Amino acid sequence: MAPVSHFERLPCVGGEVVTITIDGEAHEVDSRWTVAAALIAHGHTRCRCTPEGQSRGPFCMSGVCFECRVDIDGTPNRQACMTPVAAGMRVVLRQDLRALA
């Protein structure tokens, strides 16, 4: 699905640019961002699917609603809004229930 919602990046100072991947695609992001900010900035308003098949995305950005759970560096269902980005981070948007492994 093509991203449609476009948040605009305002002029920023300081920080570093790091590269993360979202579903395998590389993106340059500000090192001070959370994963959820990176998702939103790149149009991923939708980041997971409920067991009933409904699309969900970041909602509260403050750790309350647990809607923005994504797989980060192989760990499933982490809160994207509570996790700062890091260079080389791999973010995967989950479509189904996680399997234990």
Partner 1 sequence: MRERHPDVVVVGGGLVGLAIAHGLLRQKLRVTVCDEGDRDFRASRGNFGLVWVQGKGVNSPPYARLTSHSARLWPDYARQLQRDSGIDPGHTRRGGLSLCLEIDELAEKSAAMAALKAHTPGFDYEVLDAAGVRRFLPGASPDIAGGIYSPQDGHVNPLQTLHALLAAFEALGGTYLPRCRVDDVSHRAGAFSLTTSGPTLQTARIVLAAGLGNARLAPLVGLYAPVLPVRGQVMITERVAPFLPYPTTSVRQTTEGTVQIGDSQERVGLDDGTLPEVLVNMARRAIALFPLLRSAQVVRTWGALRIMTPDGLPLYEESRSHPGAFVATCHSGVTLAAAHSELIAPWIAGNDAPTLLETFDGARFAL
Partner 2 sequence: MKPVDLLVIGAGPAGLAAALTAADCGLSVVVVDENPQPGGQIYRQLSDNPLRDCEAILGADYFAGAPLLQRFATSGIDYLPRTSVWQIAGDNTAYFSGTSSNGPTAPLKARFIVLATGAQERPLPLAGWTTPGAMTVGAAQILLKTAGLLPPRDVVLVGSGPLLYHFAEQVFQAGGTIQALIDTTRAIDKFKALRHGPNALRSPRLLWRGVKLLAALRRQRLNRIVGASDIAIVGESQVSAIEFRVGGKTHRLSTSSVLLHAGLIPQTNFSSALGCEHYWNSQQFSWQVKCNDWFESTRAGLFVAGDGGRIMGAEAAELSGRIAALEIACQGEKISAAERDAQARPLRQAWQRLLAARPLLDTLYPPPAECFSPKDEAIVCRCESVTASQIRSAARLGAPGPNQVKALTRAGMGACQGRMCACVTAALVAETSGQPIDQVGMLRSRYPVKPVTLEEIAGSVPAACGAIGHPR
97 contact choice in partner 2, partner 1, none (CB below 5 to 8 Å, kind-dependent)? partner 1
Dihedral angle sign, alpha carbons of residues 99, 62, 92, 15:
negative
Select from 27, 82, 92, 94 the one that contacts partner 2 (CB under 8 A).
Answer: 82
Residues in 34-53 that interact with partner 2 by CB under 8 A: 34, 37, 40-41, 45-47, 50, 52
Residue with tokens 């809607």: 67
- Residue 8 binding target from partner 1, partner 2, none, CB below 5 to 8 Å by type: partner 2
The residues, any chain, with a CB within 8 Å of residue 12's CB and separated by 6 or more, are: 30
